[in-house]
Amino acid sequence: MPRGRLRTCAGVLAVVVAVTTPVLVAGGPPSPGPVTVGAAAEAPRVAGPVAPAGLAGALSGVEAVDVVTRPPGSVAVSRADEDGLALSWALLDTATGEWTGSADAAERRTEAESTIKAWLAADTLRAAAEAGRPVTAAERADITAAVRASDDDAAERLYRRLGRDASTARLDGECGVEVSTSRRGWWSFTQLTAVDAARILACVRDRAPEWPGGGELLADLASITPDGGSGIGATLPGPVAEKNGWTLHGAGTWNVNCVLAWEDRALPVLLSYPADRGVEHGWAACRDVADDVLAVAAG
């Protein structure tokens, strides 16, 4: 997809960061006022879930074309009314910039969690290109670990090399997504809407080939470990870029974010729900939402 089309169509969304003070397990849910952003540790992962058969059937032989022109809130998903589940999603046409989604897809903000690692990896490639040098072996190793295995330490090293919050600030100029943080030095609490998440991953796929090591990054995004996958990607037309995030926050809330991009589509599903339901509840909800949305897209 040409860079010009994506960046021309992508609007600039101002994201106001609002999170609680991080705790040892992770930070709590967003607070009304500005606070700082931090790299929360991910909880131990479980085996990757299996994608629903219905999703593959919904896509079989049919190209999603018209659903992105529907108004936000007009596509029903079965999990929308689940008690205790905060859910937002968006389906973006990365060629035209049109999107549909939940009614709050451009308004509800939640922590980016590990989904932001895709951008930290891409920004590392950008920095190498601007310096006129190849990606170093250390950078390449950290990109692979951060993207494929969602390694927090590797992501932190990338973040620090890039100037910490200076990296997320560059999302504005490179991807048309304006991000602000009020507590310096924490990457995973960057606040995103579903539309932001779609545009960021689509931008990474679009821009990466321009920079040294771009092909390797796209391969990393297509090869995340099974325990970090939602199970959706295996049923989509490939290649599929996927970067998810999941954190158990100290206030008793799971955040599970599933973000995928393929062909000329990007689909994030951003979830928060009570901790006692476990991480698998989030993976299953992501699959259910994707199944519903893409069934409508398939007509």
DSSP secondary-structure letter at 128?
A: H
* Distance, CA of 147 to CA of 152 (rounded, Å): 10
Q: What is the pLDDT of residues 110-155, one digit of tens each?
A: 999 999 999 999 999 999 999 999 999 999 999 999 999 999 999 9
* Distance, CA of 105 to CA of 119 (rounded, Å): 20
Q: What are phi and psi of 257, to 5 degrees?
A: -120, 125
Three-state secondary structure call for residue 18: coil
Q: Is 168 exposed, middle or buried (0-12, 13-18, 19+ CB in 10 A)?
A: buried
- The helix or strand, by DSSP H or E, that contains position 280, with its residue range, turns out to be helix 279-297
90: closest CA among 13, 18, 33? Answer: 13
Do 158 and 120 contact (CB within 8 A), yes or no? yes
In percent, the amount of the chain with pLDDT more than 70 equals 78
Question: Where does the pLDDT of residue 178 fall: very low under 50, low under 70, confident under 90, or very high at 90 and above?
Answer: confident
Expressed in percent and rounded to 5, the helix, strand and coil fractions of the chain are: 40, 15, 40
The pLDDT value given to residue 1: 43
The pLDDT value given to residue 251: 83
Straight-line distance from the first to the last Cα atom of the chain, in angstroms, rounded to the nearest whole number: 24
The pLDDT value given to residue 61: 46
Q: What is the pLDDT of residues 229-255, one digit of tens each?
A: 999 999 899 899 999 999 999 889 999
Q: Report residue 121 CA to chain centroid gap.
A: 13
Does residue 9 have a pLDDT over 90? no
* Distance, CA of 147 to CA of 224 (rounded, Å): 7
In degrees to the nearest 10, what's the CA dihedral of 191, 198, 274, 277?
-150
DSSP secondary-structure letter at 250?
A: T
Q: What is the pLDDT of residues 197-231, one digit of tens each?
A: 999 999 999 999 999 999 999 999 999 999 999 99
Q: 42-56, 81-95, 163-177, 278-292: which has the minimum mean pLDDT?
A: 42-56
Does residue 43 have a pLDDT over 50? no
- The correct answer on CATH 3.40.50.720 for the domain covering 3-40+47-297 is no
The pLDDT value given to residue 56: 42
Q: What are phi and psi of 83, to 5 degrees?
A: -60, 130
Question: Where does the pLDDT of residue 49 fall: very low under 50, low under 70, confident under 90, or very high at 90 and above?
Answer: very low
- Domain layout of the chain by residue ranges: 3-40+47-297
